[in-house]
Structure 1
Amino acid sequence: MDWKIFLTVLVSVFVAELGDKTQLATMLFAADKEVSKYTVFLAASTALIIASAIGVLAGSMMSEYIDERYLHYVAGVGFIAIGAFTLYNA
């Protein structure tokens, strides 16, 4: 296992998910006193695993047809555009 890649992905996804609507929705479900916190945790974790698996599969398939360098450019431009849009609307 490449620990550098592992830690880079871990930190990137963790920071991106903090305060995200997914985390807020999970907190709302867990706030219900009649709901099992274990069930909420398992359901939310499973959903994130499935969403991540879709991302990995999509990235793997796209990398077969598109040069990795261009995927990095598109991702970079996309993140910059989202950041600019967020700043503009703030």
Structure 2
Amino acid sequence: MDLKMLAVVFGTVFLAELGDKTQLATLLFAADKEVNKWLVFAGASLALIATSALGVLGGGLISQYVSERTLNIVAGIGFIAIGAWTLMR
């Protein structure tokens, strides 16, 4: 197992998830006093696993047809566009 790659992926996703809408939604669900916190944790964890699986499957499929360089450029442009759109709102 490539522990360095595992650490890089973990660190990147962990930092990307901090303070995003998903984490805030999870926080709001957990703030309800009548809700079982373990169920909130389980639901949020399963959702992250499912979306990560879709990302891995999609990335593997797309990489068969598009070069890694092109994917990096498209992703970079997409992030810049989302950032610009967010600032203009």
Is this a same-fold pair by TM over 0.5? Answer: yes
Alpha-carbon distance in 1 for matches of 2:83, 2:33? 37
| Amino acid across the alignment from 2:29 | F
Alpha-carbon distance in 1 for matches of 2:5, 2:86? 28
Q: CA deviation at 1:83?
A: 2.4
Q: Give the stretch that moved more between structures: 77-86 or 42-51.
A: 77-86
Aligned to 1:84: 84
What is the Cα-based RMSD across aligned positions, in Å? 1.3
Q: CA deviation at 1:11?
A: 1.5
Structure 1's consecutive aligned runs of 4 or more residues displaced over 3 angstroms after TM superposition are none
| Amino acid across the alignment from 1:9 | V
Aligned to 1:5: 5
Count of aligned residue pairs for this structure pair: 89
Q: CA deviation at 1:10?
A: 1.2
Q: Give the TM-score normalised by the residue count of structure 1.
A: 0.88
Q: CA deviation at 1:9?
A: 1.5
Q: CA-to-partner distance for each residue in 1:37-73, whole Å, 9 max, x for gaps?
A: 1111001000000000000000000001111111111
Alpha-carbon distance in 2 for matches of 1:85, 1:3? 36
Q: CA deviation at 1:6?
A: 1.6
Aligned to 2:58: 58
Q: Give the TM-score normalised by the residue count of structure 2.
A: 0.88
Q: CA deviation at 1:2?
A: 1.9
